[in-house]
Amino acid sequence: MKRACLLFALAACAAEPDIEYTGEARRFVVDSIAVPKNNTEARQFGADLNGDRTVDNQLGMVIATLSGFAGDITMHPNDMIRSGAIASSVELVANDFASDDTVALRYFGADGEHAELVGGALTDGRFTTETGGTAIVRLPVFVDSDPIVVRLNNLHATLLADGHGGFDANFAGLIEADEAHGAAFAGVQQMFASRPNDHLIFFHMLDTMPKDFTVTQQEFEKNSIIVSLLAPDVTHDGKQMLSIGFHVHLAPCAEGACSPGPVASCFDRVRNADETDIDCGGSCGACAAGALCADAADCQSASCNGTCAAPSCSDGVKDGLETDVDCGNQCGGCAVGLVCLASSDCASGQCGAPCTSTWCDLSFDRCR
């Protein structure tokens, strides 16, 4: 193992002398990762990032809320680790990996990416942060979408030895508001493009001004629900930021991935097994327009000429943004008895019982 000696000036307290971190540098890989699936986990994974003695994890709460909403949050984060779509690691520098009052930590979202040192201490196998750093992280959030990539500021960590040479760990930090909005919008757009018919409710919520069957970044950022969900909750260095906390397991690994070999999955964000494109075709779900295909069965539009044809309102299948076969949304009104999401999806102008609530058009019904 290499030896290391790192110098780190406490930016928050210029009068303090530099802290010298010495000892052995050990590398650990992230071999499992979890974002919050409920509010309890959001509180467990978060941290007090502004010194007000309350746990901060605004984005964790948002992800937890969406997890129970309509299937828009991925349930397969570890598939992305096995495939290499997420290849994150942590480096610890310490003289004693059980107890040491000057320990340095760096979190790498991927090998070679920027990561600033986080200072802390190990006590009986438990690491706690004393100075925050920064890191670029890759987080599995949206289904049918690549991990989001964001820069965490004021990064804090809590590690607990697992008894097998590794650690169970929570990481928390702050994302600048504009960057959080941009990363979320990119993930949502990729999700919609991959499987539009699986995300009609979320799409319907966002396609509002005007309702033109596309979701622009302006629509996303001005949507009242998104504004509420992605409201900054912490001010740091004079900037409005959103907090996020997540959980990982760290396994000792001197180099490489040191994780189980890839297992083909329809949710791992790489093309493998009999897939014709990333996570679609073959024995996985049908592919969206423009994806590679071998035959019609590989495509949501049931039409393949090397790549999948775009959906149309006369292809005889339920694809694109249709609520039923060749009708709904941009394909015109559906007949009585067919599936609808809003009254505009019906030729009769009536989807389900008369709407008496703001939320009654956020569930599927039938035209009447």
- Is the distance from CB of 334 to CB of 347 less than 8 angstroms? yes
CA angle 238, 106, 78 (to 5 degrees): 105
How confident is the model at residue 262, as a pLDDT?
Answer: 66
CA distance 289 to 192: 12
Q: Tell me the pLDDT tens digit for each residue of 117-152.
A: 999 999 999 999 998 999 999 999 999 999 999 999
How confident is the model at residue 13, as a pLDDT?
Answer: 34
Q: Tell me the pLDDT tens digit for each residue of 168-226.
A: 999 999 999 999 999 999 999 999 999 999 999 999 989 987 888 999 999 999 998 89
120 has which bridge partners?
Answer: 103, 129
CA distance 282 to 126: 46
Q: What is the mean predicted confidence (pLDDT) over 148-158?
A: 97
**In this model, does residue 350 exceed pLDDT 70?**
yes
CA distance 66 to 339: 24
The pTM assigned to this predicted structure is: 0.90
**In this model, does residue 15 exceed pLDDT 80?**
no
Q: Report CA-CA distances (Å) from 87 to 150, 174, 267, 339.
A: 15, 21, 16, 42
Res. 360 pLDDT band, cuts 50 70 90: low
Q: Tell me the pLDDT tens digit for each residue of 70-104.
A: 689 999 999 999 999 999 999 999 999 999 999 99
Q: Tell me the pLDDT tens digit for each residue of 328-349.
A: 999 999 999 999 998 999 999 9
| Number of alpha helices (DSSP H) and beta strands (DSSP E) in the chain | 7, 13
Token readout for 329 is 């949304």
